[in-house]
Amino acid sequence: MTRIDTTPTPPEETERFRAYTTAHLDELTARGGLDEVQRLETRAVATVLPFRVNDYVIEELIDWDNVPDDPMYRLTFPQPDMLPAEDVSRMAGLLQQGATRKELNAAANEIRAKLNPHPAGQMTLNKPTDDSEPLDGVQHKYAETVLFFPKQGQTCHAYCTYCFRWAQFVGDPELKIATGDIDRLVHYLQDHPEVTSVLITGGDPMIMKEGVLDRYIEPLLRLEQLESIRIGSKALGYWPQRFLTDDDADDTLRLFERVVAAGKNLAFMAHFSHPTEMATDPLDDAVDRIQNTGAVIRTQAPLIRTINDDPRIWETMWRTQVRAGMVPYYMFVERDTGPQDYFAVPLAQAYEIFTDAYRNVSGLARTVRGPSMSATPGKVCVDGITEVAGEKVFVLSLIQARDPQLVNQPFFAKYDDEAVWLFDLEPALGATHFPYEDTPPSDVSVLLETDTHQDA
């Protein structure tokens, strides 16, 4: 029996989704009191990195009296100093000169190429083959988990300024990861019984209408090997109406119920970057409706400078999530792509922020892991900072790894208070290399040599 309330939504309560893009940026930033130069520089950044918001973000989440310092504004609107000053000046000059779209794109692409658009081997190392042919729109980095990128889900209700998948949204087909072929994915999974979990990702899968989402999910329900289906989404934070008043909201929730009824764990991987996203009535209602289907909501976000680099923010988020029945899952480190230099928090500071928040929450919130780097060898967690044999070190471990034998095995790196990413670190205690560099040449050590971060 369905648990979804199918009472029709009165027309006056229905909210229609409306997106705002770079064409609206000057008007929106003027609302925030930015002067002409600031608005031009913001537009210059938006010609390189993607920008998109909607009415809900604008009216419910952003405090326009506190722009440009408001964290939700910084989370969704480009900042003039997100890119090197010379790049911003170049793009601003082109805009002032009335450059053509072709000229703007050419200059923007040159800048994007310097931003490591696909870190950790996403376009090469993680791409599997099916019958010796590359399998587009699929990534398989860890034995038990496959990522699937449906082509209709490669946008979002709003874009995060820190997004590590920004390259999906800039309109360059060479940078996009996507497919519409669910049959090839099913065939691949049948040939790989070790895969027990499929993560449908993007972009945001919840941008798709229920009929399209159903077309991708239904075939997966017939695969006995699958224990879980995950949906990675920011919709709860940016457009909770997707589960309340959108014309296919009820159908979407019935689809969730069918996943659970098929004996699969439906994990809704919700991205919340700031407590403001969880402080609205529509959010509370949407969470209740998703949980009533039997789905489990797990929460994750990266640690982002100027937005959530404060332990009280994370403590508040985790407490709020537990109170609502959600499961705190990950605190990530900002990845080595896009405007990382602007948003990154040093690993030592990240560990202190995580620990300060972690020690002030109950055991139910300590399901969260972090700070974790999704790097080439796997998800590397900073477990501690300590002194061993007179040397100050980071204590690290792999939560997930290309080589499963390395999972949960501690290793050490020299302490560096400026390091922001794995490849900024050096082995400690006399070691000449890290454990993941011991993997046979046919696997990770060769892959590391081609890591785009090292070439950048």
Mean pLDDT of successive 10-residue segments in the chain (456 residues)? 48 74 94 95 94 96 96 95 93 95 92 74 68 87 94 92 74 72 96 97 94 97 98 98 98 98 98 98 98 98 96 98 98 84 93 98 98 94 97 97 94 97 95 84 36 32
Helices 85-96 and 36-46, axial angle in degrees (round to 10): 100
Distances (CA, A) of 331 to 15, 127, 301, 359, 374: 32, 25, 6, 15, 11
Rounded CA gap, 36 and 66, in Å?
18
Rounded CA gap, 143 and 441, in Å?
18
By C-alpha distance, which of 114, 293, 138 is closest to 200?
Answer: 138
Rounded CA gap, 112 and 338, in Å?
8
pTM over 0.85: yes
Q: What pLDDT is recorded for position 118?
A: 60
Rounded CA gap, 372 and 421, in Å?
10
Rounded CA gap, 456 and 107, in Å?
18
Rounded CA gap, 207 and 209, in Å?
7
Distances (CA, A) of 69 to 44, 65, 160, 177, 306: 19, 9, 16, 33, 8
Backbone angles phi, psi at 284, to 5 degrees: -60, -45
Task: Give bridge partners of residue 184 from the DSSP assignment.
Answer: none
Cα atoms in the 13 Å half-sphere on the side-chain side of 356: 13
Contact 72, 313 (CB under 8 A): no
Angle at the Cα of 243 (from 365 to 156), degrees rounded to 5?
85
Burial of 98 (0-12, 13-18, 19+ CB in 10 A): exposed
Tally of residues, the chain: 456
Q: What pLDDT is recorded for position 147?
A: 95
Bridge-based pairing of strands 378-388 and 369-374 is antiparallel
